Amino acid sequence: MANESRPCPCDIGDRFDYESRGQEVQAEHIKAYICKPPASTDKAVIVIHDIFGWQLPNTRYMADMLAAHGYIAICPDFFVGQEAWKLSNDWATFNDWLKTRNAGKIDKEVDVILKYLREQCGAKKIGVIGFCWGGAAVQHLMLKNPHLKTGVSLYGVIRFFEDRSSLLHPTFFIFAEKDEHIPLEQVTLLEQKLKQNCKVDYEVKIYPGQTHGFVHRKREDINPQDKPYIEEGRKDMINWLNKYL
């Protein structure tokens, strides 16, 4: 890693002081936050949190934003009761902490949530978005899960493209130009592999001057120089979902 004392590609950025609009529900063994739009819909988006977990106000803000755009948005606890990372934790212990929270081993939980969305919410078209740890989880799901329609991976560490890059569904990749933990060479290599092997629609976009977490971790009102890119990233994400759901 580029920074051995902080081996995670997450920087908390601005923690929103945000009261969420949705509610918490139980789907079999998983707790989840869900927010529904005013009008009924059969379109849903699974929101996969970063290392700071399903209760982070920033992530719930993004789920509520999806609901405001007409989607049932659900953010499950993909750590399944295990503690989320805290800024007070010792970063030297991070890699051990991460071993029990593998972004590529969430298939059982995703199946439970897909069933919940279909049976309890009437969802028929389901997509997924994820941030950082969740962005890597989206990459995994886009390569493996046949039941999702589309995905948006936001600054997900590029872990799942070493040996295969044939995406099953249209996928949008959001990266930051100045992300210390996802070098641009990795992004370039990802693009090359997708170009060679991918048979579905995809897009890889790098946002100039931005750092890791910018779409959900920075506040427009206190990061005015980043505001256009924060808004652009969110708009691009919504437009992609609109196109494929």
Which amino acids are annotated catalytic?
132, 179, 212
* Residue 233 CB-density burial (10 A; 0-12 exposed, 13-18 middle, 19+ buried): buried
Question: What are the C-alpha distances in Å from 156 to residues 34, 41, 162?
Answer: 23, 29, 14
Residue partners of 106: CB distance under 8 A and separation at least 6: 48, 78, 137, 140, 141
Cα 83 to Cα 112: distance, rounded to the nearest angstrom: 20
**What tokens does 152 get?**
């948006």
Residue 144's φ and ψ, nearest 5 degrees, are -130, -40
Beta strand segments in 145-212, E: 151-154, 171-176, 202-207
- Alpha-carbon dihedral 174, 57, 244, 193, rounded to 10 degrees: 30
DSSP 91: G
